[in-house]
């Protein structure tokens, strides 16, 4: 059972972290340069001058692919505890992981059937 005294190091660490953030932000605000003007406020992107409107339509395939990558990447993260402790889980754990993988395979085949990974469409 934990006592209130055992939370003192955590509170101290949180206070130090919050203090560091506040000191950094206030220091940057008061000590940083304060130059203003049209050249300073102008958009800058990799040394290339702006051309046209930034709100042009674009394909969302890139974002869909990124979301799918994150989804299947998270699946790998959930496999790690199983890989470390697979002997202790036994047959019940094996069936649970097969169900977990089955759900992701259903999602993957749904994505394939919808053509989300076809760049030519």
pLDDT > 90 in the chain, percent: 22
Domain 4-114 listed as CATH 3.30.930.10: no
The whole-number pLDDT of residue 20 equals: 97
The whole-number pLDDT of residue 70 equals: 85
Average pLDDT taken over every residue of the chain: 83
Phi, psi of 66 (to 5 degrees): -65, -40
* Statement: the pTM of the whole predicted model exceeds 0.75: no
Domain ranges of the chain: 4-114
pLDDT band at 24 (very low <50, low <70, confident <90, very high): very high
pLDDT band at 9 (very low <50, low <70, confident <90, very high): very high
* pLDDT, tens only, 26-76: 999 999 888 777 777 776 666 676 677 767 777 777 777 888 888 778 888
Of residues 90 and 30, more confidently modeled? 30
* Cα–Cα dist 99/103, whole Å: 6
The whole-number pLDDT of residue 22 equals: 97
CA distances from 19 to 14, 24, 91 (A): 8, 8, 50
């Amino acid at each position: 059972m934990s006592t209130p005294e055992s939370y003192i190091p955590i509170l101290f660490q949180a206070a130090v972290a919050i203090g560091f953030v506040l000191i950094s932000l206030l220091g940057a605000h008061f000590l940083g340069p304060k130059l203003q003007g049209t050249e300073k406020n102008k958009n800058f992107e990799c040394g290339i001058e702006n051309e046209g409107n930034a709100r042009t339509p674009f394909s969302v395939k890139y974002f869909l692919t990124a979301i799918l990558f994150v989804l299947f990447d998270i699946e790998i993260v959930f496999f790690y505890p199983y890989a470390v402790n697979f002997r202790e889980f036994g047959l019940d754990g094996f069936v649970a992981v097969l169900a977990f993988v089955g759900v992701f395979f259903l999602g993957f085949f749904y994505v394939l059937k919808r053509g989300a990974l076809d760049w030519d469409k």
